[in-house]
Structure 1
Amino acid sequence: MNLGTGLLLADLAGVAVFAASGGSAAVAKRLDLFGVVFVGFVAALGGGIVRDLVIGEVPPLAFADWRYAVTAAVASAAVFWLHPQLARLRRTVLVLDAAGLGLFTVTGTVKALEAGVPPVGACIAGMLSGIGGGVGRDLLTGEIPIVLQREIYAVAALLGAVAVAVLVVLGVAGPLPLAAAAALVIGLRLVALRRRWSAPQAGPA
């Protein structure tokens, strides 16, 4: 498998897990089928759209390649129909969200670097790719976006993006190293949730 095929599969996997995350959040809010699919679509493709606009790829891949929209719709609709079998819905949402964060951060950073964005800018684009869908999902379901709270979320994405940029600069950005970078983001996010790690907050005025 070459790097291009691996990135496509990772991108579609990220779409599927973020769509499932968005769909699960929408089901928890008791939205109808259209609402579940719409929230899943935004959660899955919002970050990628932001990434593509940042790097000048127009139209964004979410609109140019039918596989992205179909994957998002199918994954979120599946959650709508199968949610009675999903135990502990909140935990499911958090795990899926962590997986999507890792996958989208990696693919977003690589695509930005391939588009000629300098490493620092590519890391920011990769972070935005990872967090954009989650922000859209939270806003649509009436929640304060996770990225604005104390939880380690955007920081995990940024660290993963930096790891990807370093791998690319060193010329060792094969499928396995990039998978390890995604696992770093996922692992950091899940450990932070389990151990209740958080970023510092400002004290009272």
Structure 2
Amino acid sequence: MEFTTSQVIEILGTIAFAISGSFSAIQRRLDPFGVLIIAFVTSIGGGTVRDLLLGDTPVKWMRDVNYCLLILVTSLLTIVLKRHRKRFTVTLFLFDSMGLGLFTILGIQKGIAFGLSPGICIALGTITGCFGGVIRDTLLNTIPLIFKKEIYATACILGGILYFTLLFFNLKADVAKVLVIGFIFALRVVVVRYKLSLPRFGY
């Protein structure tokens, strides 16, 4: 069975966000069912919001149960292997950053498939990449990263701009996708490593 580049990206993104959600839930000492729920909403939250905005229903995970099974298996493996993973914060950050890049590209591609303008495609990419984490953090009673000064949604937007710039210069779409995923991941690592952030407003 052959997979397209978009299918591979979607599978990897689902796994990355399922692990991210699972580790977040484990950190908050949720039971296995709670871990599964958080992993599920982290993985499908952004894509569900995107598809509802586009009117593409039933949403993807309802049409293809394999994604639900993938989240289930990933969550269970994460629970089993949690004893061998001491640095939860680092692991959560890495998988969340990887999922952010992967799902941003998926959202952009969905917008292109619907014939939407580049700006709207970038917005859809940002929604796809960020909103699973927003739902996850809200359920875990923490302030979502997208609402903090940390560069999160901005990474998706910059990645989207880079993607359309690369296409403008006739770079192959599959190569552009890989470069943008790497860019978003690397940008997240750099800004966290050097504590870069957007200016904060207020008192």
Bucket of the pairwise TM-score, normalised by the shorter protein: over 0.9
TM-score by length of 2: 0.94
Task: Say which is worse superposed, 13-22 or 165-174, in terms of deviation.
Answer: 165-174
TM-score by length of 1: 0.93
Q: CA deviation at 1:54?
A: 2.0
The residue aligned with 1:101 is 100
Q: CA deviation at 1:41?
A: 0.3
Structure 2 unmatched ranges of 5 or more: none
**After superposition, where does 1:110-129 map in structure 2 within 5 Å?**
110-129=109-128
Deviations 1:119-165 (A, max 9, x none): 11111000000001111111111211011001000000111122223
Q: Equivalents in 2 of 1:59, 1:165: separation in Å?
A: 29
The residue aligned with 2:13 is 14
The residue aligned with 1:183 is 182
Deviations 1:59-88 (A, max 9, x none): 111211112111112112211111111120
Structure 1 contact 43–137 (Cα < 8 Å) conserved: yes
Q: Equivalents in 2 of 1:18, 1:159: separation in Å?
A: 20
One-letter amino acid of the counterpart of residue 37, structure 1 = L
Report the identity percentage: 33
Q: Equivalents in 2 of 1:170, 1:129: separation in Å?
A: 25
**After superposition, where does 1:66-145 map in structure 2 within 5 Å?**
66-145=65-144
Structure 1 contact 110–164 (Cα < 8 Å) conserved: no
Q: Equivalents in 2 of 1:78, 1:48: separation in Å?
A: 23
Q: Equivalents in 2 of 1:155, 1:41: separation in Å?
A: 24
One-letter amino acid of the counterpart of residue 67, structure 2 = Y
Query: How many residues end up aligned between the 2 structures?
Result: 203
SS of equivalent to 1:57:
coil
